[in-house]
Structure 1
């Protein structure tokens, strides 16, 4: 039965990745947060020795930073040509930090959803 649950988790993660990629034009830029929360719920990050936030931050930073570097060089350096007073490397690092923080917080929130639902609730009775 454990093998079937692993297949189900893998399938759900793949679907969670494919849906936003296919519908990127319909969603606003911040909609990846919803899918990052879903990934945080499905993937058990408690088995790793680093925190869920750090996993999400590193992942989000690399995706946003490297994605912007790719598009910057694909368009011949003209992607950030309107920003003459801010160096390009600051824009790239800034976008990586913003994406990393948002993804880190999203995966942390997703991991806490199951942790909170699986922990016993405390009942306080008044006399």
Structure 2
């Protein structure tokens, strides 16, 4: 009976050590910004930037067609700036219509729906008189 008791204590001790090890070596998630809907931290995942609040369901997909069609790589820097300022200046945005690139601002348009929308504002150069 004493051997069983000793074995049980050893198993419990080792199980706690595994939990502690897992906790110590757990990777910290980098906060990209704050969610525009609930102000919770937004993290980078493999395929998206997502709100840490599971009830919120806010996410911006890295492979969003808006960015892919314009040949923009949706980087963490772009995501961070969109969350902070609701717009980000992007260079070399591709246009299928003209087959050329241009510079403009990508604007975050969050309607609160399942998907987030974006649009582009082009800064027009003012003519000097």
TM-score (norm: length of structure 1): 0.24
Instruction: Considering fraction of residues, name the structure with more strand.
Output: 2
Instruction: Considering fraction of residues, name the structure with more helix.
Output: 1
Q: Which has the higher contact order (CA 8 A, sep 6+)?
A: 1
TM-score (norm: length of structure 2): 0.23
